[in-house]
Amino acid sequence: MRILIADDDPTSRLLLRAMVSKLGHECIVAEEGASAWDLLASGGIDVLLTDWMMPGVDGPELCRRVREGTGDSYVYIVLTTGLDRPERVLEGMSAGADDYLIKPVDSFAVQTRLIAAERVTELHGTLSQTQAELERANTELLEQSLTDGLTALGNRRRMEEDLIRTHARALRIGRSYGLALFDVDHFKLYNDHYGHVAGDETLRHVASCIDFVVRAGECAYRYGGEEFLLLLPDLRPSDSVAAIGERIRQTVMDAAIPHVARPTLPPLVTLSGGVARWAPGSPLSVMELVEEADGALFQAKSAGRNCIREADSCLHDRVEPSTVGG
């Protein structure tokens, strides 16, 4: 262990240093409280052996400072004091000391204290390590709880949280946002023909196509089954949700994933999409906007699939661009 001795009496410093060194520990010394505190603040000290009475910063004050400090490692404190002042032992222990030694100290007493110190500092080390691991695991679990296991896109829960937050923010700062809802065309026929394992693989492939097109700040989610949702939280008046939807549709078609079981051409996996736009002044709630996108998606399906349709909210927004903030 690395041990700091704080004592204004040179003979006490030499005596303690000799004892501690003989026990195989690394030893540094301070002649008064203030310099001891400087050494403690720079870290790396396991044990503090401090005298009670020192000019300036005394033993109890040093104890208090160590305990108030935000250092992540534990400093085991042993206070050295005379036999004639038991009330000082109590004050020192209350100030944060772990144990005390009566002066003049003897080797055996020092040795026993350092055994306890080693155990306690090790325990604290393990504890803070375990805590750090738990925090990491918690962060990972939280991330997992918001991620779709198959596609690694955001899951339904993350989507709902993000939609609510985006809508609230758009209301507050007067910005537009957009939604695009996609559905893989004839996916039931795909599964029937290629099997569910291949179906899962294709969903992953489509998800990666969507993720590829997504820009910073935008987010894609697996809405459920073979449906995906794209959230565009910050739309400028010139941004077209339909154009972004169209780019995703094209990207999936360019991936050229065979789908020979579908009744219409091309014999590839394709997407239909419905897009909607919320602009300041719109009376729609975020869930109503999702329904709008869903309605547009239905129109795309009805129009023969492999295409993008816009909800009325998009048209309305473009007719009156002056209502858009920014």
**Would you tell me how many other CB atoms lie within 10 Å of the CB of residue 87?**
7
Residue 140 annotated as catalytic = no
Q: Which of 8, 118, 160, 211 binds another protein (CB under 8 A)?
A: 8
- The contacts of residue 274 (CB under 8 Å, 6+ apart) are 180, 181, 292, 293, 294, 295, 296, 297, 298, 299, 300, 308, 309, 310, 311
Q: Which of 3, 4, 6, 19 binds another protein (CB under 8 A)?
A: 19
Please report whether residue 135 would count as binding another protein according to CB under 8 A: no
Please report whether residue 107 would count as binding another protein according to CB under 8 A: yes
Closer CB to another protein, 101 or 276, in the complex:
101
Please report whether residue 165 would count as binding another protein according to CB under 8 A: no
Active-site position among 87, 91, 201, 226: 226
* Distance in Å, CB of 82 to another protein, minimum: 7
Closer CB to another protein, 104 or 267, in the complex:
104
* Distance in Å, CB of 104 to another protein, minimum: 4
Please report whether residue 26 would count as binding another protein according to CB under 8 A: no
Closer CB to another protein, 82 or 295, in the complex:
82
* Distance in Å, CB of 39 to another protein, minimum: 21
C-alpha pair distances (Å), 319 with each of 114, 237, 324: 80, 11, 11
Q: Which of 68, 84, 87, 254 binds another protein (CB under 8 A)?
A: 84
Please report whether residue 31 would count as binding another protein according to CB under 8 A: no
Contact 19, 105 (CB under 8 A): yes
Please report whether residue 56 would count as binding another protein according to CB under 8 A: no
Closer CB to another protein, 15 or 244, in the complex:
15
* Distance in Å, CB of 143 to another protein, minimum: 56
Please report whether residue 10 would count as binding another protein according to CB under 8 A: yes
Place of tokens 């001891």: 36
Please report whether residue 78 would count as binding another protein according to CB under 8 A: no
Please report whether residue 191 would count as binding another protein according to CB under 8 A: no
CA distance 65 to 48: 12
Q: Which of 103, 169, 204, 318 binds another protein (CB under 8 A)?
A: 103
Closer CB to another protein, 33 or 199, in the complex:
33
Q: Which of 12, 121, 151, 191 binds another protein (CB under 8 A)?
A: 12
Size of site (CB under 8 A) for another protein: 18
C-alpha pair distances (Å), 97 with each of 19, 67, 115, 119: 20, 9, 16, 16
Please report whether residue 14 would count as binding another protein according to CB under 8 A: yes
**Catalytic annotation, residues:** 226
- The binding site for another protein (CB under 8 A) comprises 8-12, 14-15, 18-19, 21-22, 53, 82, 84, 103-104, 106-107
